Amino acid sequence: MSAVPIPGGSALPEQAARVPAAPVALSTASVYPDPVATAFALGSRLGYDGVEVMVMPDPVSRESGALAALSELHELPIVSIHAPTLLLTQRIWGTDPWTKVDRSMELAQEVGASTVVVHPPFRWQKGYADSFIEGVRARESLSGIAIAIENMFPWRAGQREMLAYLPHWDPVGLDVDHVTLDLSHTATAGSDALEMVEDLGSRLHHLHLADGSGAFRDEHLVPGRGSQPCGEVLETLADNGFDGAVVVEVSTRKLDPTTRSGDLAEALAFARLHLATPH
């Protein structure tokens, strides 16, 4: 291997590691059911680059002043807001889905986040689903905020499969400019994550880093503990110069604080390792 001379010193190999600009952030969902403040404190201590705030029952997750104070205290920017589109959060900010999206975008603007993560509409939200693509595009155009549609999965009962989302649980075929790829959801759906990365191209804006075994239940394992090509996805993104956010979103709800800290440190180290690609 040839080397690059350094003035006044020795030489370095030409194939030095190149790390993309993508920040590695911690989702507040990774400390649920503990409060948002726990995610900021833990993220800062472990060395994360930022935080994704999932709007949840914790009132701090919906208060821009409190979030800004936490961000300043722990010197961690808020990279994204996850809209309250889970079944668990259906009553937050009322029941109108567009209100939830609009309030999430307002919160993002107030705390300096550039991205709002949104799930596709549930199939019973027919009116919302009918206007979803046009509504997303109009809001992005007016606000400058990226609305990144997250891949989901079919719901299953025994051998039966139900289409729970409209227009579809897989956003690859949707006419949207920004997509969030969740690697726990690809496991549950049985999707090919690397193929999705290739098909999405520049539309892949945001990554939820987790893992899964392929069970019917969404698992959100620490990356490297399931069947998903988490390392290969990160390496591909690094090679492509990905400049979106990599957000660790794993489940730690049954863990004691020490084990949780270890798991989140392991997830961060996994991300850093696989984002460092030879140049």
For 132, counting Cβ atoms within 10 Å of its Cβ (0-12 exposed, 13-18 middle, 19+ buried), the class is buried
Contacts of 158 (CB under 8 A, 6+ apart): none
Tokens of 11: 């030489």
Farthest CA pair distance, the chain: 68
Q: Report domain extents, the chain.
A: 18-278
Q: Model-level pTM?
A: 0.91
* CATH architecture assigned to 18-278: Alpha-Beta Barrel (3.20)
d(CA 72, CA 27): 17
Per residue in 227-278, pLDDT (tens digit) is: 999 999 999 999 999 999 999 999 999 999 999 999 999 999 999 999 997 6
Per residue in 106-161, pLDDT (tens digit) is: 999 999 999 999 999 999 999 999 999 999 999 999 999 999 999 999 987 666 77
Per residue in 95-108, pLDDT (tens digit) is: 999 999 999 999 99
64, containing H or E segment: helix 64-74
How far apart, in Å, are the Cα atoms of 74 and each of 46, 114, 128? 11, 19, 38
d(CA 265, CA 267): 5
